[in-house]
Amino acid sequence: MSAPRHDFDAPPSDRAAGQQRQKVLEVVRRATAPVDAQQVAQALRIHITTARFHLSTLESQGAIRRRRASGGGRGRPRLTYEPTPRLDYADIVSLFAAHLGGTAEEREQRAARIGADLAHRVRVARRHAETTVADLVVETLGELGFQVRNVLTSFGEVTVQICTCPLAEVARTAPEVVRGIQQGLIQEVIDLNADALGGRYRVAVTPDPRAGSCEVGLTLRPGG
């Protein structure tokens, strides 16, 4: 079956191109062997020129690497692509989650202890100048590279909506581990600043219910 034709005089928007490029990357990552542009084009039903463009961009970004296929005889050498070897934070947490064992509740409790230790390791568990729990959490998340979408306060309870989460992928298969790590980390920072805040708060974490977006909610409730 031939691939559909595309109008290259009207390039897709940056967002559409980014979404399509992500699909190309997923094809490469899921393949059991290096793939070429033709295989990607067929898998996604896109023009081979479009596949080559996205593969080239992904290579320049360091997400994949190119290889020359052995053999093939005369003519233009066949170029194949495979994922670039990487040691990713999310990958490490995924493996950790898979081997943690126990019930979901036990895994969440262990992950919370790890999150508390992580707060000290990355140096956010310290005295802060912020005097409200909302400011403290927003400042801490900013230091960790998170982007906060909004902050809502109602009857002393604070909800912080995060729109960047490096553990979004892990939350699909191990949401209890993500909850534990995030909860333990933020809780440790808040506990160390309880005197300045004028009281204690308990942290509850809810990973994105859609399991695919990068939204995480933190709910901060007064009480020890």
CA distance 106 to 100: 9
Q: DSSP string of 21-49?
A: HHHHHHHHHH-SS-B-HHHHHHHHT--HH
- What region, left, alpha or beta, does residue 156 occupy, with left being phi > 0 and alpha being psi -120 to 50 degrees? left
pLDDT for 38 equals: 95
pLDDT category of residue 4 using cuts at 50, 70 and 90? very low
pLDDT in tens, 21-75: 989 999 999 999 999 999 999 999 999 999 999 999 999 988 899 988 765 556 6
Residue 1 is assigned to a structural domain of this protein: no
pLDDT category of residue 12 using cuts at 50, 70 and 90? very low
Decide: 130 and 182 in contact? Cβ < 8 Å. Answer: no
What are the start-end ranges of the H helices in 61-174? 89-99, 104-121, 133-143, 168-171
- Residue 155 lies in domain: 89-222
Say how many residues make up the chain: 224
Q: Whole-model pTM? A: 0.57
CATH number at residue 130: 3.30.1380
What interhelical angle do 104-121 and 175-192 show, nearest 10?
Answer: 40
Give the domain-ending residue among 29, 58, 83.
83
| Judgement on whether residues 97 and 76 belong to the same structural domain of the protein | no
